[in-house]
Structure 1
């Protein structure tokens, strides 16, 4: 493709934007297909018609990035704050807030939520899908409770895998590199008259960060294996069935962080690694009633099993019934007494109400009579979570300019943990949703939707969205969006019953070999939903002759009733007392300059103000990415990416990734050899002070055979 001078190009650009309007359901313009996205409203739409901002990370970007993790790919999304809790725990949030567990973002795998409602988290490393099975990732940047329920408060990430029909043949891949990187992937795809199948096996391994703030080895490596089976079966010309099975098994190291409360205790210091298993299955029946009417019914089942045990030591008085009752009366008083108990042995319990001083003196008496001896025992912090989900969705074209998608959803969640819930806790959720798209004229597109949701543990809610799109033509549109969204407190936040039962105590505590530690934390049980009001103005354009896609938005989001307290077993007092405001602008540009070069730029400016200062720490005011992909011919291609943010949790992040690959034809087979170099440009920890690398660069290589 060739271009003239800048002056001659400007009229062409204007002509492309303001050309005669065409119907949005014209899928091809000048022989080229219009891009289509699904995540925004559950309706297939061109980006210009979406009631909000979308980012699509396609298969070319996924490969070119060289990323080994889904969380790393999300650095390509403007406004997405990507950091690390440790080497095997990513922290990903759109626009930030203090929650490191993605509490305010819905994450889907082929439409199935992988958000764990029990412990308010997304295990990014443990999502049971390899990078090589992913076709694209669609990210809706903004609240979308209307389409996906209560956790879609700030964004929706939908990971879409390749269709089995597009996966025929055999693929084998290995990755080796520094930091003990050792990955593998193998898949087999085949088809028959009425169906297709893909089976893949994969594994991932690395050693995480090298050292903590003190220079000691940081235990955060990971080892995992996955198996995935996807089948599509055509029943007749109107019906089909899609089903998947996923399983993942692995281990994640955890640094030992427990420190005895009472002075003079030598801790056992045993490791507290996590053995993580995930199982999932889904079955979906699709029916095309006629060209204007379709529906599906989908059922899913998921199970997360996290086994975590270790051995710890503390003083015998830690299991005193009197100390336990004192904690229930006044945690602050109890902690002051416990941490300074040696100081009070001669002076008596610190000042306070009579009941507290009486219990405090009894504890001091136990300490003086020998309860200061060291006891060691086993702690089991394992969790099991299960989810069953059933959804019906109906899509109907009522006329040439009117489309409706509606549906019902039922979900059952169960969390089982002796430590976090003192047993088992379950919840049920019912949802009814609808989205109406009305093409009032050839230029004006009006969209409205709502979600009614009822949760047994929290109650009911109704969230609306209203959007107006002015389509200059199907490739260019202006939008104004107002939406409301909610986030329901999760089981952990609202209903936690957190205490440690220590078993195999040696020696015994008060004559027992098993006892509960004195600290016990209970959730308030009456938390209300967080509420968000979002306003957005934006433009989306696709200059087909230039190969240029552009999106710009300005936004103002307000969250009230925020639950900002950290999830910890030490005076955790959750409330809806906080609020936050996010104002700013985002842009993304994707330019296929010609057949060989592609440029991609993103930038986000986010001005965050929050009543709790912690809610501003995970927000970078300025962040963005830049990428250049080039096909050099003769099987050679390269990619260069820059990622940066000015301050995430107070630490700057800048990195340049380079990937060079060579594809070699071997008859009907092909071999691709590639190398990736990641170079940090800053000299700071990654998100948290203990995330330290000895070297600022890492290199790894891959070899992939297709036949």
Structure 2
């Protein structure tokens, strides 16, 4: 599906036909309800009809009724969002699609603080230090938004907004138990005083991941984690407030043993090594409202990501040969052939290579074929400091201007990936102008200039025109550009394995360096996207129905698509991709008891590298029915479907049934969640399999 001039008249006729004369009159003259507002699109508070792009809001009621345990499962309710799994503790989230194992092109924020890791270009969805019970809502901007949030907001922005401490007074306790080893807990205490509020929460999550691989063998992919969150808000003066947060998480993620010796006769292997994950974060925000039309905030944050993993590997002593290392530097393909045929190496026409091969063959005859084992440290540590200032001012009744600056420092430490440490400094200037030409037309423009010491500078613009049929019904046309900066790993990797505590001395050393070494190119350009969108957003007050329609055409050039592995990894900007299609989102409050929610996305994906279209389902969507039955009973029925994620179909039906009881002023909710797979296929990858097509969970939550 392409986007040109022809869809616009059809879209306008569709919206006009849907609206009808009476509804137009109601919205313009009778409906005096306050307009809902979203923040994530431009950083300005706007009604959904005035947003320069497509928005999805997952509110607290929807989050609760879904029964989801983590954020990736919630994002199945967002049209066009593709949820995959590298393993049970390694979910990946992409908008419209990308590589299965590397979700690099989406910005994720918690109350404005980015949790995107710049060192290894990833979001650790399983390890985000935030309990789902502390979330008030999730705003998802479905489209590029580098203009507002900088590089890495290439395809979408997920902004997770937590509950205000003022809305969290009292005690809240929850436990969840279920099949597949599910064992979760949550506890929070909120209190307030004159001029301030505070919430402290502790939570934990555990499950056993997938049950077995494609060969029927047990699959090591369980996860265990514990989280701590402290959030507070202080009123300093009538027009100033201070908000701060502290967060910490510690846990372990099982990893299958994946090391494959270069020398095929080596059968020894060490024990499985789990990844120990520790995350710490702190943020402080000072808000000032000068008057009704002028506000400013200053926000600072610090984060530390710590992944510890040490495993024992075995290989032939020849793997640590200085001569084999030199041969790898000269000719990697030939070096691998020699390593596998050291007793009868293939010939070479190069004199230096022949001399090295002769030395390698002599080493082989002198005992380099003997097996040696040692410890490999694959730990990584990343630290980020971020400072941002933003000013929002109404220049007139019809013009609003937002401007700001951001300074960020990132540092990555890894003996394996960076041979020590690597750091980067990025600064940004951004602005957004909203001009309400009259009661119907809104013209919006924005831009961000960003400069990174490692990757250079970029300027990304966005221009949008919104036509408000009424304040609650708007058509939009948007053109935007976005970039993604190559991360430290892709561009500056210095990948080598130092194997410590060898089982015996090799070449006179207790610690050896593996002969395979990988270096990043150091000169990668940014990926660039050009996006075009036509859309409609409307709220029918008589029906209590919200509708969002979108037609899109996105093109990414300069894509970095090579797999991240220590075997002739040569990153380049040689790839590109195109995504075209349509999305629909409906949220209908039928009456006081029933709410229906439908999403659908059609995505026509093409990519020069096949890996970049594996996680693109041509047809995907969700359907939900929330029902209040009375006498404390409620239910949520949800369907999730994708016709092909990495060639595997995914369909699931969830039913959550809950009963609320009032006990001496306290509220107790007992709930059961039944999840039923409607297909019988692996999830994303061939090895991701469950023993059963269904799963049952129970939860109990007490508030007092």
TM-score (norm 2): 0.96
Residue in structure 2 matched with residue 612 of structure 1 by the alignment = 609
Q: Do 2:484 and 2:526's aligned partners in 1 also have CA atoms closer than 8 Å?
A: yes
Secondary structure of the 1:325 match is: helix
Residue 331 of structure 1 deviates from its aligned partner by: 1.2
Secondary structure of the 1:333 match is: helix
Residue in structure 2 matched with residue 303 of structure 1 by the alignment = 304
Deviations for 1:109-152, whole angstroms, at most 9, x for unmatched residues?
00000000001110001110000000000000000000000000
In structure 2, what is the Cα distance between the partners aligned to 1:615 and 1:392? 36
Secondary structure of the 2:325 match is: helix
In structure 2, what is the Cα distance between the partners aligned to 1:36 and 1:383? 40
Deviations for 1:203-235, whole angstroms, at most 9, x for unmatched residues?
000000011111111100000000100000000
Secondary structure of the 2:74 match is: helix
Residue 11 of structure 1 deviates from its aligned partner by: 9.3
Indicate how the Cα distance of structure 1 residues 11 and 392 shifts in structure 2: closer, same or farther if over 3 A, else same.
closer
Deviations for 1:683-706, whole angstroms, at most 9, x for unmatched residues?
111001111111111111000000
Q: What runs of 5+ residues in structure 2 fail to find an aligned partner?
A: 1-15
Residue in structure 2 matched with residue 429 of structure 1 by the alignment = 426
Secondary structure of the 1:399 match is: coil
In structure 1, what is the Cα distance between the partners aligned to 2:508 and 2:219? 38
Residue in structure 1 matched with residue 255 of structure 2 by the alignment = 254
1:702 aligns with 2:702: no
Indicate how the Cα distance of structure 1 residues 11 and 572 shifts in structure 2: closer, same or farther if over 3 A, else same.
closer
In structure 1, what is the Cα distance between the partners aligned to 2:547 and 2:511? 63
Q: Give the ranges of 4+ consecutive aligned residues of structure 1 lying more than 4 Å apart after TM superposition.
A: 10-13, 20-23
1:581 aligns with 2:573: no
Residue 22 of structure 1 deviates from its aligned partner by: 5.4
In structure 2, what is the Cα distance between the partners aligned to 1:12 and 1:363? 77
Q: Do 2:393 and 2:400's aligned partners in 1 also have CA atoms closer than 8 Å?
A: yes
Q: Do 1:103 and 1:121's aligned partners in 2 also have CA atoms closer than 8 Å?
A: yes
Residue 615 of structure 1 deviates from its aligned partner by: 1.0
1:533 aligns with 2:516: no
In structure 2, what is the Cα distance between the partners aligned to 1:407 and 1:646? 42
> Out of 449, 454, 467, which is 2:464 matched to?
467
After superposition, the CA RMSD in angstroms is 1.4
Residue 368 of structure 1 deviates from its aligned partner by: 1.8
Residue 571 of structure 1 deviates from its aligned partner by: 1.1
In structure 2, what is the Cα distance between the partners aligned to 1:518 and 1:186? 50
Residue 32 of structure 1 deviates from its aligned partner by: 3.0
Q: Do 2:476 and 2:534's aligned partners in 1 also have CA atoms closer than 8 Å?
A: yes
Residue in structure 2 matched with residue 625 of structure 1 by the alignment = 622
Residue in structure 1 matched with residue 223 of structure 2 by the alignment = 222
> Out of 15, 19, 30, which is 2:21 matched to?
15
Deviations for 1:518-553, whole angstroms, at most 9, x for unmatched residues?
111110000000110000000000011101000000
Tell me whether 259-268 or 547-556 shows the greater mean CA deviation: 259-268
Residue in structure 2 matched with residue 81 of structure 1 by the alignment = 82
Residue in structure 2 matched with residue 279 of structure 1 by the alignment = 280
Residue 265 of structure 1 deviates from its aligned partner by: 1.3
1:240 aligns with 2:241: yes
Q: Do 2:56 and 2:78's aligned partners in 1 also have CA atoms closer than 8 Å?
A: yes
> Out of 529, 543, 547, which is 1:550 matched to?
547
Residue in structure 2 matched with residue 58 of structure 1 by the alignment = 59
Residue in structure 2 matched with residue 690 of structure 1 by the alignment = 687
1:36 aligns with 2:37: yes
1:132 aligns with 2:133: yes
In structure 1, what is the Cα distance between the partners aligned to 2:178 and 2:318? 50
Residue in structure 2 matched with residue 5 of structure 1 by the alignment = none
Residue 360 of structure 1 deviates from its aligned partner by: 2.4
Q: Do 1:136 and 1:160's aligned partners in 2 also have CA atoms closer than 8 Å?
A: yes
Q: Do 1:99 and 1:564's aligned partners in 2 also have CA atoms closer than 8 Å?
A: no
In structure 1, what is the Cα distance between the partners aligned to 2:432 and 2:545? 30
Residue 337 of structure 1 deviates from its aligned partner by: 2.2
1:317 aligns with 2:323: no
> Out of 459, 474, 497, which is 1:477 matched to?
474
In structure 2, what is the Cα distance between the partners aligned to 1:705 and 1:280? 28
TM-score (norm 1): 0.96
Secondary structure of the 2:613 match is: helix
> Out of 352, 364, 369, which is 1:367 matched to?
364
Indicate how the Cα distance of structure 1 residues 401 and 22 shifts in structure 2: closer, same or farther if over 3 A, else same.
farther
In structure 2, what is the Cα distance between the partners aligned to 1:188 and 1:156? 30
In structure 2, what is the Cα distance between the partners aligned to 1:212 and 1:361? 43
Residue in structure 2 matched with residue 207 of structure 1 by the alignment = 208
Q: Do 1:495 and 1:524's aligned partners in 2 also have CA atoms closer than 8 Å?
A: yes
Deviations for 1:176-208, whole angstroms, at most 9, x for unmatched residues?
011110000000011111010000000000000
The size of the alignment, in residue pairs, is: 689
Residue in structure 1 matched with residue 155 of structure 2 by the alignment = 154
Residue in structure 2 matched with residue 660 of structure 1 by the alignment = 657
Q: What runs of 5+ residues in structure 1 fail to find an aligned partner?
A: 1-9, 24-28
Deviations for 1:329-380, whole angstroms, at most 9, x for unmatched residues?
1111112222343xxx24x433453332332232122112210001010111
Q: Do 2:100 and 2:646's aligned partners in 1 also have CA atoms closer than 8 Å?
A: no
Deviations for 1:389-431, whole angstroms, at most 9, x for unmatched residues?
0000000011111001110000000000000000000000000
Q: Do 1:39 and 1:158's aligned partners in 2 also have CA atoms closer than 8 Å?
A: yes
In structure 2, what is the Cα distance between the partners aligned to 1:328 and 1:58? 55
Q: Do 2:27 and 2:541's aligned partners in 1 also have CA atoms closer than 8 Å?
A: no
In structure 1, what is the Cα distance between the partners aligned to 2:357 and 2:592? 77
